[in-house]
């Protein structure tokens, strides 16, 4: 049977959810998980941090823009969080990064199409703004009054 989280065929661990679990819509049919996903379910570091996992190596990401500009070779799993939502990591393991040029980027419980060319253009523009004295309201997305 396949892992209810990531779909891996090596699911052997029976999962019993707490009454507070609310993300059944992200799961596949069944009640078994692979070892990796079973351990991720019970560990808060997977829902409270931005991270990537390549094989068995897990690393926290502190500089998201820096990571997106210089990603490792795929495949890997990437999860970003702004709100530290509980179950966004499930979407991340279902959408591994297979190409650094175009992929599904999971941020909390949202999936965003990432295109490296557009990202690079926007990052170049953003870096040019950082060099100028721009009103704080503009940098935060608003307009000065």
Domains of the chain, by residue range, sit at 1-42, 44-134
The confidence score (pLDDT) of residue 126 equals 82
Element (H, E) at 145: none
The percent of residues in the chain predicted with pLDDT above 70, rounded, is: 95
Mean pLDDT of 1-20: 94
Residue 38: predicted pLDDT: 95
Closest CA to 52 of 116, 117, 97: 97
**For the segment 66-116, what is each residue's pLDDT rounded down to a tens digit?**
999 999 999 999 999 998 877 899 999 999 999 999 999 999 999 999 999
Parallel, antiparallel or unpaired: strands 77-80 and 102-107: parallel
Q: What radius of gyration, in Å, describes the C-alpha atoms of the chain?
A: 18
Half-sphere exposure of 23 (CA within 13 A, CB side): 15
Q: pTM for the complete prediction?
A: 0.81
Give the pLDDT mean for 24-31: 94
């Amino acid at each position: 049977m396949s892992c209810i989280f990531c779909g891996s065929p090596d699911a052997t661990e029976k999962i019993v959810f707490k009454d507070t679990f609310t993300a059944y819509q992200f799961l596949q049919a069944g009640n078994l998980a692979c070892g990796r996903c079973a351990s991720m379910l019970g560990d808060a570091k997977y829902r409270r941090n931005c991270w990537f996992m390549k094989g068995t190596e897990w690393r926290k990401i502190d500089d998201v823009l820096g990571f997106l500009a210089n990603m490792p070779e795929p495949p890997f799993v990437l999860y970003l969080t702004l709100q530290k939502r509980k179950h966004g990591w499930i979407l991340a393991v279902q959408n591994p990064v297979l190409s650094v040029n175009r992929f599904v980027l999971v941020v909390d419980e949202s999936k965003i199409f990432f295109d490296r060319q557009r990202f690079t253009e926007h990052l170049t523009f953003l870096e040019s703004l950082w060099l100028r004295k721009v009103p704080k309201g503009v940098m935060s997305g608003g307009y000065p009054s």
